[in-house]
């Protein structure tokens, strides 16, 4: 019986990307800097966590050894085991860009070798002709924002005016993305989704990777809060991915979190949703219980990126890592002979770095399961090695990209 369980710890980079300088990220290291801050007491928060970063289960699987492979440096305040219990390594990204689709598609065997479209930096970033067409096609009175911004900050800045005027809030980032924030009740969740569908159609020719619906609730700047009803309207991957291969072979793909959105629904058999990492881990455990031989359970844990990386919240990120680490036992105890689990990431989002965007980094590749022989995978040339390895494990046809480590 062969099953595969793939967890993406969204934004959990481990530094050392060979092309980091080209992205303005030379020296970025999500794990390394969180560990350094925690060791220095800068990761403490009353009622949340304190002390050095403690990830005993991921460390036992080889996380700290993988980090040393990535950067040549040890994680401050953390001691690696004498002999890791899993297969461990680091992987470099070859895709252009450092955003979510690029990382996930490459993990699934399809690196992004084309250039995404981006919007201008700063204020007035969206073209006037595009905005005029959106207003006409979506029948809206205009928009607010029209700038590069953090999602939480722009809601504080424009949320009240949005409630008064019913104009949606448009913003972007250094990713290939058009984001739309709107109030779930005053604007309407269905109306927001329809607006995003219109914008998705109008931005295909610009090669914009995602249009993201960012619904929120609350009545004042102090009480506005984004909800779990986010939805990503993505471009389809340019060629079949691991998800398609599993489906074509008669297996099922159990997509947990925003995986289905990232792959525009292609190859997805069943969806599982959850509000926050804890609920998403719970959903993944349910999927593990339902998965049959030949199936893939593919989980994205978004809180690391959305709640802590982009917000540059070191204590929050550290606490989220520690909380997930404690759940690895729950995953392991549900495994059967022939199962394999891969823990990895899609990019970095160093919470100590300048700005609020993703960071170009290598990612960890931690592999365990009943039949896995522990050892080092070294530094992999591409995230696509993960797809190639899972394909080998499930008996699927090989990909054009990557080399199997199984």
Encode pLDDT of 322-343 as tens digits. 999 999 999 999 999 999 999 9
d(CA 322, CA 324): 5
Task: Say if CB 54 and CB 369 are below 8 A apart.
Answer: no
Quote the mean pLDDT of the chain: 95
Q: Does the pLDDT value for residue 1 go beyond 80?
A: no
pLDDT digits (tens, 9 = 90+) for 22-48: 999 999 999 999 999 999 999 999 999
Q: Does the pLDDT value for residue 266 go beyond 90?
A: yes
pLDDT grade for 56, boundaries at 50, 70 and 90: very high
| Number of Cβ within a 10 Å radius of residue 146 | 18
Across residues 135-150, what is the average pLDDT? 93
Task: Say if CB 34 and CB 314 are below 8 A apart.
Answer: yes
Task: Say if CB 350 and CB 33 are below 8 A apart.
Answer: yes
Task: Say if CB 155 and CB 171 are below 8 A apart.
Answer: no
pLDDT at 356: 84
pLDDT at 120: 85
Based on the number of CB atoms within 10 Å of its own CB, is 400 exposed (0-12), middle (13-18) or buried (19 or more)?
exposed
pLDDT at 97: 85
pLDDT above 90 covers a percentage of the chain that reads 91
Range with the poorest average pLDDT among 59-73, 112-126, 179-193? 112-126
Closest Cα to residue 148, out of 157, 161, 140?
157
Q: Does the pLDDT value for residue 88 go beyond 90?
A: yes
Across residues 193-220, what is the average pLDDT? 94
Task: Say if CB 309 and CB 356 are below 8 A apart.
Answer: no
φ and ψ of 225, to 5 deg: -145, 130
R_g of the chain computed on alpha carbons: 21
Q: Does the pLDDT value for residue 122 go beyond 80?
A: no
Q: Is 37 left (phi over 0), alpha (psi -120 to 50) or beta?
A: alpha
pLDDT grade for 170, boundaries at 50, 70 and 90: very high
Closest Cα to residue 111, out of 364, 401, 388, 348?
401
Predicted model pTM: 0.92
Query: What is the 3-state secondary structure of the chain?
Result: CCEEEEEEECCCCCCCCCCHHHHCCCCCCHHHHHHHHHHCCCCCECCCECCCCCCHHHHHHCHHHHHHHHHCCCCCCCCCCCCCCCEEEEECCCCCCCCHHHHHHHHCCCCCCCCCCCCCCCECCCCHHHHHHHHHHHCCCCCEEEEECCHHHHHHHHHHHHHHHCCCEEEECCCCEEEEEEEHHHHHHHHHHHHHHHHHHHHCCCCCCEEEEEEEECCCCCCCEECCCCEEEECCCCCCCHHHHHHHCCCCEEEECCHHHHCCCCCCCEEECCCCHHHHHHHHHHHHHHCCCCCEEEEEECHHHHHHHCCCCHHHHHHHHHHHHHHHHHHHCCCCCCEEEEEECCCECCCCCCCCCCECCCEEEEEECCCCCCEEEEEECCCHHHHHHHHHHHCCCCCCCCCCCC
Exposure b/e, 212-240, CB count within 10 A at least 16 = b:
bbbbbebeeeeebebeebbbbbbbebeeb
């Amino acid at each position: 019986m062969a099953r595969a369980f793939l967890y993406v710890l969204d934004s959990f980079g481990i530094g050392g990307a060979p092309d980091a300088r080209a992205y303005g990220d030379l020296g970025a290291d999500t794990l390394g800097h969180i560990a350094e801050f925690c060791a220095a007491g800068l990761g403490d928060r009353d009622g949340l966590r304190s002390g050095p970063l403690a990830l005993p289960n991921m460390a036992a699987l080889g996380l700290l050894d993988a980090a040393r492979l990535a950067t040549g440096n040890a994680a401050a305040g953390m001691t690696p085991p004498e002999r890791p219990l899993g297969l461990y390594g680091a992987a470099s990204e070859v895709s252009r860009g450092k955003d979510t689709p690029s990382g996930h598609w490459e993990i699934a065997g399809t690196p992004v070798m084309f250039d995404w479209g981006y919007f201008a930096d700063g204020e007035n970033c969206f073209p006037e002709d595009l905005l005029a067409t959106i207003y006409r096609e979506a029948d809206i009175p205009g928009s607010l924002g029209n700038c590069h911004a953090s999602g939480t900050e722009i809601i504080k800045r424009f949320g009240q005016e949005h409630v008064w005027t019913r104009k949606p809030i448009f913003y972007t980032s250094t990713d290939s993305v058009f984001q739309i924030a709107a109030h779930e009740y005053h604007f309407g969740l269905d109306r927001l989704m329809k607006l995003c569908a219109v914008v998705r159609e109008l931005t295909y020719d610009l090669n914009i990777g995602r249009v993201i619906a960012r619904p929120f609730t609350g009545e004042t700047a102090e009480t506005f809060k984004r909800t779990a009803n986010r939805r990503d309207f993505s471009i389809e991957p340019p060629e079949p991915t691991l998800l398609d291969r599993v489906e074509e072979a008669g297996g099922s793909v159990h997509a947990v979190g925003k995986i289905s959105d990232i792959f525009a629904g292609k190859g997805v058999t069943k969806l599982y949703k959850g509000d926050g990492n804890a609920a998403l881990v719970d959903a993944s455990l349910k999927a593990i219980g339902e998965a049959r031989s030949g199936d893939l359970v593919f989980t994205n844990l978004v809180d690391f990126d959305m709640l802590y990386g982009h917000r540059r919240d070191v204590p929050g990120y550290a606490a989220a890592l520690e909380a997930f680490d404690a759940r690895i036992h729950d995953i392991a105890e549900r495994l059967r002979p022939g199962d394999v689990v891969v823990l990895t990431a899609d990019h970095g989002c160093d919470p100590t770095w300048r700005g609020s965007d993703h960071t170009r980094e290598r990612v960890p590749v931690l592999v365990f399961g009943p039949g896995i022989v522990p050892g080092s995978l070294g530094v992999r040339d591409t995230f696509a090695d993960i797809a190639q390895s899972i394909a080998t494990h499930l008996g699927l046809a090989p990909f054009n990209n990557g080399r199997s480590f199984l």
